[in-house]
Amino acid sequence: MKQPWVHVIGGGIAGLSLARELANYPKLPGNVVISDPRTHYDNDRTFGFWFTAKESHRLNPEFSVGQWSISTTTSTALQTGLHYRYGVRSAGSVYAEALSKIDAHPQIIRVTEETKTRPAAEHVYDGRPPSIEHFKVVQAFSGTEIQCATPHGVDTVGLMDALQVVPSGVQFRYVLPLDAHRLLVEHTLFTEVSGDLQDLDRLNTIWINAHWPKATVLRHEAAQIPMGYRQSMHHLGFPIGARGEMTRPATGYGYRTMQYWAKQEADRLIKQNQARRFQPSALHQWMDHLFLDLITARPDVLPDIFLALGRRLTGDQFAQFMMRQQTFDAMRVILAAPKKPFSLALIGKPQWI
Domain with residue 114: its CATH number is: 3.40.50.720
* Domain hosting residue 26, numbered range: 6-47+89-130+233-272
Does 293 map to a domain? no
139 and 217: one domain?
yes
pLDDT tier, 343 (very low <50, low <70, confident <90, very high otherwise) = low
| pLDDT over 60 (residue 346) | no
Does 147 map to a domain? yes
Question: What is the mean pLDDT of the segment spanning 331-346?
Answer: 62
Does 116 map to a domain? yes
Number of domains in the chain: 3
Closest CA to 237 of 1, 2, 4: 4
| Residue percentage of the chain with pLDDT more than 90 | 76
What does each C-alpha distance from 337 to 34, 37, 72, 333 come to in angstroms? 43, 44, 16, 6
| pLDDT over 70 (residue 351) | no
Does 329 map to a domain? yes
DSSP assignment string, 10-60: S-SHHHHHHHHHHTTSSS-SS-EEEEES-SS-----EEEEEE-GGGHHHH-
Which of 50-54, 278-282, 284-288 is modeled with the greatest confidence?
Answer: 50-54
36 and 115: one domain?
yes
| pLDDT over 80 (residue 231) | no
Does 185 map to a domain? yes
214 and 247: one domain?
no
Q: What is the pLDDT of residue 352?
A: 53
17 and 164: one domain?
no
pLDDT tens column, 216-230: 999 999 999 999 998
| pLDDT over 80 (residue 334) | no
Mean residue pLDDT of the chain comes to 91
Does 278 map to a domain? no
The domain boundary residue, chosen from 198, 228, 258 = 228
d(CA 212, CA 230): 40
Q: Which residue has the higher pLDDT, 327 or 127?
A: 127
pLDDT tier, 15 (very low <50, low <70, confident <90, very high otherwise) = very high
The residues with which 85 forms a beta bridge, in sequence order, are 51
41 and 184: one domain?
no
Question: Residue 72 corresponds to which amino acid?
Answer: T
| Residue percentage of the chain with pLDDT more than 70 | 91
Does 33 map to a domain? yes
137 and 208: one domain?
yes
* E-state strands within the chain: 6-9, 32-36, 46-51, 63-65, 67-72, 76-80, 85-90, 108-112, 123-126, 135-147, 156-166, 169-177, 182-191, 216-229, 238-239
Q: What is the pLDDT of residue 182?
A: 98
pLDDT tens column, 298-313: 888 889 888 988 998 8
121 and 137: one domain?
no
pLDDT tier, 103 (very low <50, low <70, confident <90, very high otherwise) = very high
pLDDT tens column, 31-77: 999 999 998 999 999 999 999 999 999 999 999 999 999 999 899 99
Three-state SS at 63: strand
What does each C-alpha distance from 54 to 21, 121, 323 come to in angstroms? 19, 36, 16
Q: Which residue has the higher pLDDT, 178 or 193?
A: 178
140 and 18: one domain?
no
Closest CA to 183 of 138, 214, 223, 224: 214
120 and 241: one domain?
yes
348 sits in the region (left: phi over 0; alpha: psi -120 to 50; else beta) called: left
107 and 197: one domain?
no
Q: What is the pLDDT of residue 332?
A: 65
The domain boundary residue, chosen from 210, 228, 246 = 228
pTM beyond 0.85: the answer is yes
42 and 175: one domain?
no
263 and 158: one domain?
no
d(CA 279, CA 265): 12
Does 56 map to a domain? no
